[in-house]
Chains A and B, each alone.
Chain A
Amino acid sequence: MGQDSKIRVLVAKPGLDGHERGAHVVAYGLRDEGFEVIYTGLRQTPEQIVSAAVQEDVDVIGLSILSGAHLSLTKKIMEGLKAKGANDVLVTVGGVIPEEDKKTLEEMGVAGVFTSGSKIKDIAALIRTKLGKNA
């Protein structure tokens, strides 16, 4: 990680869903937690997100999806990361995620699912624990 040991996070909005509140809040919050945060803005395709993650060499991708398309979009991103050899990137998903879909997402390799009422510091703690880093 060199001298810059800050955890790098890509907060991303895949698909056409325009509800940005969660993404904004998490982006600001993780910044305040000392992470390096890049926000993609709305309407990114899974391919754009994967390539941004690889280019920016991020440790974490935080996906925010409220449209109900979380299963198909997340699946594509997980496959894209694998194809680029970026399996070590931690992926979390936030949004309106029904309870029964949480397991499916975890089986895809998602490290954490955060729904409404989640705390930023819990998201930050999960990221730090999973990465084994304190930055």
Chain B
Amino acid sequence: MKKNSKEEIKEALKKWEDEILNPRVKKFNLDKSPTSFYTPLSWDNSHFLEKVGFPGQFPFTAGNNPFDFWRAYANFAAKAGFRSDWGGSGKSGKYGGFGTPADYRDYLFKMQSMGRYGGPNIAFDLATQCGYDSDSSFAEGEVGRVGVAVDSMQDFAVIYEAYTGNLEIDKVPSNFTINAPAAVIIAMYACLAKKRGIPLNKLEGTPQNDILKEFIARGTYIYPPAPSLRLFRDTCVFCCKNMPALNINSIGGYHIREAGATRVQDLAFSMANGIAYIEAGLEGGLEVDEFVPAFTFNAFGGSMEIYQEIAFQRAARRVWAHILRDRFHAKNPKSMQIRQPITAHIGCSSATLQRPLNNLARAVVGGIAAGMSGGIAGAFPPFDEPLGLGHSQEATQLQQDASRILIYEAKVTDICDPWAGSYFMESLTDEIEKDALAELEKIEKMGGAVAAIENGYMPRAVAKSAYDRQKKIENQEELVVGVNCFTGEHEIDVSINRVVEATYDPELMKTAEERQKANLARLKRERNGTAVVSSLRSLKVQAEDKDKNLMPAICECVENDATLQEICDVLREVFGEAQPMKL
């Protein structure tokens, strides 16, 4: 057979449009075709190596690796009945936390008795995340609610009573979903290791430590962006020098998209934030390949649009790789990789309150997209995500099984980057990359991420996109099953049983605030007040000199049982407080 020339294809395409496609569009009285078809004219494969390459090689479009750790042992894990929260074999436990530190510790013991040995993956309550103690008026009604309350080193140590022996902190990793006070929590982790006689270089885990996205989405900031970034710099240098096995941060596009950002904004804003963090580390005197390999990403955002989300992941890997190699002259491939626990997913905001079991079907779509874009085929979130805070054990079981079915029965993850070379997927990947780079350039021209937060550009753009999406749903430009279509009287509301006991004991939740305030009062009575005051004073002096790394001083405060708010208040005094954005 003779090779097709481009001209031949072009001609054939024209002929197809005239003879097949357009008559059909006309027959059904449409303005345009509801489907698209891609050809070699849509994507030129003559730069396959530069654009796609092999899995594990620059620019990592096809994946960070031919297969990950979890995939290497997936069959072994299945036969051994190994259970983990993502359907894989990671060592991290399920994200959680509630009540007082003792409540959460007891919950962790209970989970362990059910065979769940994952490391602590701690959700902190909002007071802790915003740098307030449980006895602050700002904390009223919030203590122990969306996470566990941590006011002091003693609280932190109580949680970790669940992690000793085989689950000692040099054996299991810890995750801390906290940003503005991340430095304080990292200091507590270091202090705990010191008390237990464990070398800091044995500590594994990931603090979220991604403060910039808090200004764009999620909202748990304390100080203005610039001093916040200085604190990031200090943690970055401290972790790099002392805790090399600990990841430095977990950069989240996820929250930005959930707050309403488009796919392109999600990618551009996360990259802008990532660049700011790299520059902060360099400013702290580190070499790029010394610390960027310890950066992680907390997934980007997701949506139900399966093709777009797969392309997005591929584009994101390529964009980051180029930024690291071309702009920061990284040599280590690890610096250039987007390391994240999951890749594509639907995003929690795609889950609907209406006919909630449908969210299982939705999550499976996300799991397929994840499996096809280099991740664990995680069917996230559990279907009861929108019903209130906390997933039922049943919903979690179904989520896990769905992921397992995708991996073991559908064999979704047997092929690495199955879309490589697809005319359609490659052109979509190029398009997302191009649009995101244009948006990133806009932010760079403003002066980078910090400037684009200070001038309100990024947060406002996200708010506007959220409203655009809402309008599209209200006028049925976007269709959501059971929400704005198929809501007729003959549709059946499938009843669901969440007969398993509540994940978090509601009785404990009710009394957590009072109990935690009592814990804190006891601490304040019993600690060495002079040591607290003197370590806080020394923190203040250090904070006023922006060249100083604050981590040693924060560690000293933590060791002396200064509270989280006392530490944050000293920094509030020096740095000022961020003002909430008005529309």
Contacts and interface: CB of A to CB of B under 8 A. Distances in A.
Do the two chains belong together in a single complex?
yes
Interface of A: 15-21, 24-25, 27-29, 39-43, 45, 67-69, 72-73, 96, 98, 115-117, 119-121
Contacts of A117: 352-354, 480, 483
Contacts of B582: 39, 41
Interface in B340-354: 349, 352-354
Nearest to A121: B474
A69 B132 CA distance: 16
A67 B354 contact: no
Interface centre among A16, A28, A116 (most CB of B within 10 A): A16
A117 to B, nearest CB: 5
Contacts of B139: 16
Interface string B270-299: 000000000000000000000000000000
A25 B389 contact: no
A21 B219 CA distance: 11
A73 B345 CA distance: 33
Contacts of A20: 217, 219, 259, 463
A16 B463 CA distance: 19
Interface in B243-292: 258-260
A45 to B, nearest CB: 7
Lowest 5 A-B CB distances belong to which pairs? A18-B219, A41-B580, A16-B126, A24-B463, A72-B141
B329 interface: no
A110 to B, nearest CB: 16
B130 A16 contact: yes
A79 B516 CA distance: 26
A68 B141 CA distance: 9
A42 B580 contact: yes
A69 B145 contact: yes
Chain A contact residues: over half helix, strand or loop, or mixed? loop
Given A24-B467, A69-B145, A42 B388 contact: no
A69 B147 CA distance: 12
Given A17-B219, A67-B146, A69-B145, 16 more contacts: A16-B126, A20-B219, A20-B259, A21-B258, A24-B463, A25-B466, A25-B467, A25-B470, A27-B583, A40-B580, A43-B580, A67-B142, A69-B141, A98-B388, A116-B352, A116-B353
B398 interface: no
B474 A68 contact: no
16 contacts: A16-B127, A17-B146, A18-B214, A19-B259, A25-B463, A28-B463, A39-B582, A39-B583, A41-B579, A41-B580, A41-B581, A41-B582, A67-B142, A96-B386, A117-B352, A119-B474
Nearest to A44: B580
Contacts of A25: 260, 463, 466-467, 470
B413 interface: no
Interface string B208-232: 0000001001111000000000000
Given A24-B467, A29-B470, A39-B582, A96 B389 contact: yes
A37 B329 CA distance: 49
A67 to B, nearest CB: 5
B454 to A, nearest CB: 15
A72 B509 CA distance: 13
B32 interface: no
B140 interface: yes
Contacts of A40: 580
Contacts of B349: 21
Contacts of B387: 98
A67 B353 contact: no
Nearest to B260: A21
A25 B463 CA distance: 7
Contact of B466 (A24, A42, A116): A24
B126 A67 contact: yes
A40 B145 CA distance: 23
B370 to A, nearest CB: 23
B556 to A, nearest CB: 28
Contacts of A73: 141
A20 B220 CA distance: 11
Contacts of A69: 141-142, 145
A24 B145 contact: no
Interface string B120-155: 000000110110100001111110011000000000
